[in-house]
Structure 1
């Protein structure tokens, strides 16, 4: 990075910001000087996270409770965001859910399908649409902003037993490429695809995750599970000037799973 505070005087919006990747990336951005808007539908956890990051870093951290699948709430969030922040240089489009493991497309009911697609794909589109319109007019040089979406290794290697999660995340990768064309040259748009990481799905319990690994249910070439910090480090690169000539790309962050294939990552009985 060019210097320690390369995000000074820049604003960042992070959806799914109350926990997991969102919380970790929010902390990392604030430590580099960014003011934040954190978006989540878990109001209690959201406000607690915002206060802790603000207290630790001294940065402005605004919590806005929002259902990203609700267009009216997203429009209100965008309005409040630009009232609270001088600018929005970065959008980390992170909100998502992962439900319905062990269910193929025949077993999934319409309610689960709609819920997953509405949050993971529609929600990412709505947030980027509402914030991106104004981000394009910002006066930063050489770029007006950066958008980073979140897919999954299952977006790269769709698994029939993770439908509709795989479908929604494959859609995010496709959407990233289309957004990159639409928003160029003012805004770069990229995507990350995490693999097996220490997040809230395991209650942030590294020992639990490693027990799954030791039981032989997970194989990664680097012989460990990922951490939130691994994702934060990649996000700092994508938020920095070092990534200014990169757009429309998907970045697997998976310990090498994309190279060996997702079926080597999860053995057949793990899902």
Structure 2
């Protein structure tokens, strides 16, 4: 999809909302693009096994399908969006790779342990962990953020990353990788998403600290910092707050439009494969041209 095509697609976005979180890919209008038709895999991840959390839709689905096109088998972890997860699995299998779908809550340490064990039992290996699942709730006044919301946002966005990484590490070896999803909001802030932005800042510190700890073992840890990307999280959160705001989503960045998940997938491939063999503790900013520090 070219820039002009992506802009045209963005112009098709109308006011909308979804009444549940995580949102559903199948209810988005227009649907997102996950991989360009002309994206050619070249075996960059041939023989690898990857876990992608939040892999049922959005950025997670894009990473999973790009991994499959590059030759990886992929385990898709998701909360309860069964139809979306099945679609992702079908897309992986259409690439000639094996898929595994695992439903559960990353806020649960025991579930994370069991999920990693299931993946290793199924594929007899694990090489790439993509921590991507996230939650956000719009609140424009800090005093409106309840203890439950604050703790719940951290539980999904940060604790889940920790639990899964801790369980995956015993199975990772020299050359294996961890890719975390942070956000432009970790660097620029967002007055409507204070707790979400705070968790994304914690992920930055987690990525950088862990990368230093694991560098001697040859395990690389990096992160992608998306800007406004057209995913189900948008109608399910921004749309829930103000359906009309969805129509304007992403227009405030220099490129004047939201990004498509397909525009992030190649970055996850790069950080997961040997092309980034001398890269660790770093951030790839994919945000439509916004200039941020770090």
Unaligned runs of 5+ in 2: 1-38, 237-243
Shift of 1:161: 2.9
Most deviating of 195-204 and 166-175 = 195-204
3-state secondary structure, aligned to 1:225: coil
CA distance in 1 between partners of 2:255 and 2:87 (Å):
31
Alpha-carbon distance between aligned partners in 1 of 2:201 and 2:289, rounded to the nearest angstrom = 19
Q: 1:233 to 1:155 in 2, by over 3 A?
A: same
Q: Which has the higher contact order (CA 8 A, sep 6+)?
A: 2
Question: CA offset at residue 53 of structure 1?
Answer: 2.0
CA contact 1:70–1:123 (8 Å) conserved in 2: yes
Q: 1:209 to 1:188 in 2, by over 3 A?
A: farther
**More displaced, 250-259 or 6-15?**
250-259
SS of residue paired to 1:222 = coil
Equivalent residue, structure 1, for 2:176: 145
| 2:223 aligned residue (170, 191, 194) | 191
Q: Corresponding residue for 2:99?
A: 61
> SS at 1:48's partner residue?
helix
Contact 2:78 2:85 in 1 (8 A): no
Counterpart pick for 1:212 among 248, 272, 275? 248
Distance of 1:182 and 1:209 partners within structure 2: 42
Counterpart-to-counterpart distance in 1, 2:193 and 2:88: 32
In 2, Cα distance between equivalents of 1:9 and 1:85: 10
- 1:105 Cα shift? 2.8
Which of 254, 258, 268 is the matching residue for 2:291? 258
- Aligned pairs (5 A) from 1:128-207: 128-135=165-172, 138=173, 143-185=174-216, 186-202=218-234
Q: How many residues align?
A: 247
Deviation at 1:202, TM superposition (A): 4.2
- Deviation string 1:17-54 (CA, Å, 9 cap, x unpaired) is 11111111111110111001111111513541344124
Uncovered stretches (5+) of structure 1, i.e. residues with no partner: 262-271
Q: Normalising by structure 1, what TM-score?
A: 0.84
Could you tell me how far apart the structure 1 residues matched to 2:284 and 2:119 are?
A: 28
Divergent runs of 4+, >6 A: none
Q: CA–CA distance in 2 between the matches of 1:150 and 1:42?
A: 20
> Is the deviation greater in 48-57 or in 226-235?
48-57
Whole-Å Cα distance in 2 between the matches of residues 222 and 15 of structure 1?
28
Gap change, CA 1:232 and 1:51, over 3 Å in 2: closer
Offset at residue 60 of structure 1 (A): 0.7
The partner residue of 1:238 within 263, 267, 271 is 271
SS at match of 2:257: coil
Deviations 1:43-97 (A, max 9, x none): 5135413441244112110111121110111111111111112321111110111
Matched residue, 1:269:
none
Which stretch of the first structure deviates more once superposed, 47-56 or 123-132?
47-56
TM-score for the superposition, normalised by structure 2? 0.78
Judged with a 3 Å threshold, the aligned counterparts in structure 2 of structure 1 residues 154 and 36 are, in CA distance, closer, same or farther, namely same
* Structure 1 residue 115, shift from structure 2 partner: 0.8
Name the CA distance, whole Å, in 1 between partners of 2:135 and 2:89.
24
